[in-house]
Amino acid sequence: MTRCIEILGEAQIQAFLERFAPCFPASFYLVNLAGEVVASSELEGQGGAGRHFVIDHNLQSVTLEGASAETPGVAAAPLMVQGELDGYVVGVSRLPAELPQHEYCQSVLRIIAEWISDKTYSEYELQNLTEELVEKYNEVNLIYDIADTIGAVFDPKRVCNVIIEKAVAVIGAGKASVML
């Protein structure tokens, strides 16, 4: 599994890879750091899940496992998510010779990797902002609830108990106290 799959979902990445397949005589794969295919431009049953890649992290190179001289060309671009290597976008030629127009393929792979990286970052930021917004909303509601209680109750002990109950519910603390 990769973080981009966890954040965006396999279906969204699969659809994006499939959009590029007709533009170039290659199949596109999203490969995790272990060399396993986690998404592909190939339809189910066409061998995408059965492929495995060998990754040399020192050289940042990717080769098809069991490749021979007749094996179609393989090109790869690193996929960075939040500044860390998350996997590779790999292109495997459907032609028997080397990957045609290798530079063009590298450009396409970089575009795919950048899109996935940018989209993953945007979704991650959106999730964080949503969680922060919900947290702030709960805090504001706590203040309003406490203000309503203080205005309606004149017994200091009762006010303190209500403040503790509401604060513990919002904050999720196991114990709390109020000192006057």
The answer to whether the CB of 105 falls within 8 A of the CB of 24 is yes
Residue 8 CB: number of other CB atoms within 10 A? 20
* Model confidence pTM above 0.95: no
- Strand pairing category for 26-31 and 37-40: antiparallel
pLDDT tens-digit profile of 44-79?
A: 544 455 677 888 767 666 777 766 555 567 778 888
pLDDT at 69: 52
pLDDT at 43: 55
Residues in the chain, total: 180
pLDDT at 95: 66
pLDDT at 101: 54
Distance CA 120, CA 109 (A): 16
Distance CA 30, CA 2 (A): 9
pLDDT at 154: 81
Query: Which positions of the chain have pLDDT values less than 70?
Result: 1, 43-50, 57, 59-61, 66-72, 94-105
- Residue 53's SS3 state is strand
Distance CA 151, CA 144 (A): 11
The answer to whether the CB of 39 falls within 8 A of the CB of 14 is yes
pLDDT at 45: 44
Distance CA 26, CA 92 (A): 5
